Homo-oligomer: A and B are copies of this chain.
Amino acid sequence: MLFPILILLINQASKMNAEDGVMEELATEKEAEESHRQDSVNLLTFILLLTLTILTIWLFKHRRVRFLHETGLAMIYGLLVGVILRYGIPATSYHNKTPPSCCLEEGPVSTLLLNVSGKFFEYTLKGEINSREIHNVEQNDMLRKVTFDPEVFFNILLPPIIFHAGYSLRKRHFFRNLGSIITYAFLGTAISCFVIGNLMYGVVKLMQFIGQLTNKFYYTDCLFFGAIVSATDPVTVLAIFNELHADVDLYALLFGESVMNDAVAIVLSSSIVAYQPAGASTHTFDATAFFKSVGVFLGIFSGSFAMGAVTGVVTFTKLHCFPLLETALFFLMSWSTFLLAEACGFTGVVAVLFCGITQAHYTYNNLSEESTKRTKQLFEVLHFLAENFIFSYMGLALFTFQNHIFSPIFIAGAFLAIFIGRAANIYPLSFLLNLGRRNKIRGNLQHMMMFAGLRGAMAFALAIRDTATYARQMTFTTTLLIVFFTVWVFGGGTTPMLSWLHIRALVDPHDGQVSKTKQESAWLFRLWYTFDHNYLKPMLTHSGPPLTTTLPSCCGPLARCFTSPQAYENHEQLRDDDSDLILNDGDLALTYDDTAITAKGTSSGGADAAGAGWGVNGKRSSTTSEEALEREMDQEFLSRSTRLIFPIEDHA
C-alpha cells in the first residue's frame, strides 16, 4: 500500500523538483507546490481509507460479523471515496486550456527536446491520447492523479501478496493434495480460460451481429479475458474456513489451487499476448503461433519456477545471532528473486511464489526462532496492506477510471461464461481425480469449490495492466464488476453455503473428534518425502537427520562435507520443531529402519510424549512402515489439532 502512494508522491515530486530547481525563475513553481500539496492530500485520502477499513475490520472481528470480509469492506469504502472524488469535487485545474502542441514528421520518440529561445528542456513520453481527450488533458487532473500506474499493481503490490501466499502455504496438506491441486491449477485453469474465451467470442459475434459492437474485438482478446478471469482468489472464503475450522482438505485444495492458478493465469495471459503479434493482421487461429505460445507458456513457467525454487533454496542464512540482519537479508533475497526473474525475461510474480514455497520449506528451518517470527510478521503486514490497498483501489477505480466501457450484453455473457468455465473446470476434473484418490472429493466439496471461485487482486491487476484498446477497456470494466459481484455475493454467502452443503469442521479442536483423512497417491507422496527428508533437508537446512546416517556408508566423506554441524545436535530440536519433522521422522523409520534407529528412538519418543500429553493414542505397537506413518500422521494431527485447523495462523 505504502509503495504506490510513495511512487505517486515521487513521480510528482520529481516533476516538482524539475520545475522548481531548474526553472525557479519561471512561474511554474507555485503550481508545482500546489500540485505537491494536492498530491499529499490525495495520498492522505488513501491512507485514511485504509485506516477506516482497519477500524471497521476490527469492529467486525470483535462482533464476529462474517458476511462481509475486510476486502469487501475495503471495496465499499473505495467506492464511496470514488463517488465523492468523481461527483463531489469540482474539477480543479490550473488553467483550463489545451496544452501547446508541436508537430513532428517521425514517429513518437521516448525523449523529446523543446527549444525555448535557446534553452533546451527535456520531455518524456507519457502515452498516446485520444483526440477527444486533448482538451481534457489538464482538466481531469484530480481523477488522473488518483489513478496509479498499472505496473504498480504488478511489480509492487502483487509480489508481497503472492510471496506471503507461498510462504504461508501449509506444506503438509498442500503436498498431500499436490496432484489434485496441480490438476485444478494447470488443466483446470486452461480449460476455464478456453471455455470462457470461446463463449465470449460467441457473445462478441452476437454483439457484432446485432450492431452493439462496432470496434475491433479479436479472438485473442476473448482468450485474454478468459485467462485473466480464470485466476481465482477465494481470500474471503478461506478466511471464513479458517474461522469456522472447515474441512482441511477442502481448504488445502482451494488455497493451493488459488495460489497456483494465479501463476498459471499470469503466464497464460502473457503467452496469449505473445501469440497476438504473429497473427496480427488476421487474429485467426494459427497452429504455428499456437504451439509457439504453448512453448512460451512452458518456457516461462518452468523458468520462473526453477528460478524461484533455486533462489529459495540458496538463501541459506546462518546469521543466527542477529535477527535484524537475518530478516533484512531474507527480505532482500525474496526481492532479488523477483528482480532476477524479470531481468531474465521470466515472470517475477511466479518466481516469487515458488521462492516463498521453497523458503518456507527449507530456509525457514535455518532461521533463528526470532527471525522466523519477524519474517512472518513483516510479510504479514506487507501482505495485509497490499491486499487491502488493491481492494480499496478497485472500489475507487470504478468511478475514477476514465475509460470504462459498460456493455450489458458483454457483462451478462461474461457472468454466464465464468460460471460455465468454473463448472467445466471443477466437475469433470473432480470426477477424474476421484478415480485415483483414496480420499474422494465428495459432491458437496465440489459444489463448495465451484462456489468459492471468487475473483480478486490478480484478475484486477492483469486487467488494468493494459487498457489501451477498446477491447481491453471493456475487459477491464467487466472484470471489475465480476470481482465486485463475486467478493460481495459469494464471499458473503460462504457461511450459509457451508451449512447448506453440510460441510462441517472435520476436526473440532474442542471435542477432539478425528476424521481419517488419508493421503492420496501415497507412493508418490512417500517417495518425495523420503527423498526430501533424507537428502534435501539435511543438505539445505540444519534440521533433519545427519546425511551420514541416511546415505550409504560408501558416501561417507561426501555426507560429512554436506552436513551442517548443527544437524548432529538436532535430536533435541526435533521435539518442538515444525510438525513436518515429526511426520518425516516416521518416514525415516520407514525407510531406514535399521540405520536410523537411534534418531528415531529419540525423536519419535518426543512425539509420543506430546501425544500422550493430549491423552490419546500415546503408544506404539506395530512397526509396519505404512501403518506407522499413518498413525504418526493422525496422532500428530490430533495432538496438534489446534495448529492444524488454522492453516494461515499456523504460518502467519
Compute how far the CA of A351 lies from the CA of B110 in the bound complex, rounded to whole angstroms.
39
- A86 touches B (CB below 8 Å): no
Residues from chain B with Cβ under 8 Å of A155 in the complex: 6, 9-10, 13
Q: Per-residue CB proximity of A1-21 to B under 8 Å, as 1/0?
A: 111111101110111111101
**A150: which B residues are within 8 A, CB to CB?**
17
Which single member of B57, B106, B115, B277 contacts A325 (CB below 8 Å)?
B57
Binds B, one of A34-42, A206-214, A292-300, A539-547: A34-42
- Is A374 an interface residue, CB under 8 A from the partner? yes
Residues from chain B with Cβ under 8 Å of A125 in the complex: 15, 18-19, 121-123
In the bound complex, how far is the Cα of B384 from the Cα of A319, in angstroms?
16
Is A91's beta carbon under 8 Å from chain B? no
Is the beta-carbon distance between B107 and A116 smaller than 8 angstroms?
Answer: yes
Is B10 a contact of A149 with CB atoms below 8 Å? yes
Q: How far is the CB of A515 from chain B (nearest CB, A)?
A: 30
* Cα of A109 to Cα of B319 in the assembled complex, Å: 53
Q: Give the contact-size bracket for chain A.
A: 35 or more
How many Å from the CB of A284 to the closest CB on chain B?
19
At the interface, yes or no: A84 with Cβ under 8 Å from chain B? Answer: no
Chain B residues whose C-beta falls within 8 Å of the C-beta of A123 in the assembled complex:
112, 123-126
Q: Which of chain B's residues have a CB closer than 8 A to the CB of A121? A: 108, 125-129
Q: Which residues of B contact A154 (CB under 8 A)?
A: 13
Q: Is A119 an interface residue (CB 8 A)?
A: yes
A328 within 8 A of partner (CB): yes
Known: A100-B113, A115-B104, A329-B51. A137 touches B124 (CB 8 A): no
Q: Do A339 and B44 contact each other (CB < 8 Å), given the known contacts A54-B329, A151-B14?
A: yes
A26: B residues at CB distance < 8 A:
107-108
Chain B residue contacts of A554, Cβ below 8 A: none
Q: Would you list which residues of chain A between 109 and 157 have a CB under 8 Å from chain B?
A: 109-131, 134, 137-138, 149-152, 154-156
Please measure, in the bound complex, the distance between the C-alpha atom of A23 and the C-alpha atom of B106, giving whole angstroms. Answer: 14
Report the bound CA distance from A115 to B128 in whole Å. Answer: 10
Q: Does A217 contact B (CB under 8 A)?
A: no
Please, what's the 1-or-0 string for A531-566, where 1 marks a CB less than 8 Å from any CB in chain B?
A: 000000000000000000000000000000000000
Q: Which B residues touch A83, using CB under 8 A?
A: none
Interface-centre pick from A98, A109, A327 (highest chain B CB count, 10 A): A109
Residue of A4, A98, A125 with most chain B CB atoms under a 10 A cut-off: A125
Could you say which residues of chain B place their CB within 8 Å of the CB of A381? 324, 327-328, 331, 374, 378
Q: Can you name 12 extra interface pairs (CB under 8 A) apart from A6-B7, A47-B332, A99-B113? A: A7-B11, A9-B155, A10-B155, A13-B152, A17-B127, A17-B151, A18-B126, A21-B467, A40-B343, A50-B332, A98-B113, A123-B123
18 example contacts (A-B, Cβ-Cβ < 8 A) are as follows A16-B151, A18-B125, A23-B107, A23-B108, A23-B128, A26-B107, A26-B108, A27-B107, A40-B339, A40-B343, A54-B325, A106-B116, A108-B114, A121-B128, A324-B380, A328-B381, A331-B385, A378-B381
The 9 closest A-B pairs by CB, nearest first: A13-B151, A101-B113, A40-B343, A18-B127, A123-B123, A21-B468, A102-B102, A22-B128, A40-B342
